[in-house]
């Protein structure tokens, strides 16, 4: 039996199972409460809007602590305001 995975799917033999990460990124909520656009946050972080979009949609495989720290400083929030665990 062959099993392998990529970011969103687990492949087992010839069947494909959708794999949803239990970590939810609430960056859009924080941006809305701070009345800030994604483009502005990306400029302040020094990353491309595309990379910020990947993080916002939850498609990123990970986030560096220094990036998370910078986001929290700019948005004046805690990491738990941005990241949420759901089963």
**Could you tell me if residue 67 is inside a domain?**
yes
Q: What is the pTM of this model?
A: 0.74
Q: How many domains does the chain have?
A: 1
Q: Who has greater pLDDT, 76 or 17?
A: 76
**Could you tell me if residue 9 is inside a domain?**
no
**Could you tell me if residue 13 is inside a domain?**
no
Residue 46 is part of a domain; what is its CATH number?
Answer: 1.10.260.40
**Could you tell me if residue 15 is inside a domain?**
no
Domain that holds residue 43: 22-85
Tens digit of each residue's pLDDT (9 = 90 or more) over 52-82: 999 998 888 889 999 999 999 999 999 999 9
How far is the C-alpha of 39 from the C-alpha of 31, rounded, in Å?
11
The pLDDT assigned to 16 comes to 47
Tokens of 52: 């910020």
Tokens of 55: 């993080």
**Could you tell me if residue 59 is inside a domain?**
yes
């Amino acid at each position: 039996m062959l099993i392998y995975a990529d970011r969103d799917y687990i492949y087992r033999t010839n069947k494909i199972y959708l794999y949803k990460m239990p970590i939810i990124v609430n960056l859009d909520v924080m941006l809305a409460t701070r009345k800030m656009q994604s483009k502005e946050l990306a400029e302040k972080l020094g990353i491309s809007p595309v990379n910020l979009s990947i993080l916002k949609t939850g498609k990123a495989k990970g986030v560096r602590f220094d990036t998370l720290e910078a986001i929290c400083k700019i948005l004046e929030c805690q990491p738990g305001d941005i990241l949420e665990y759901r089963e």
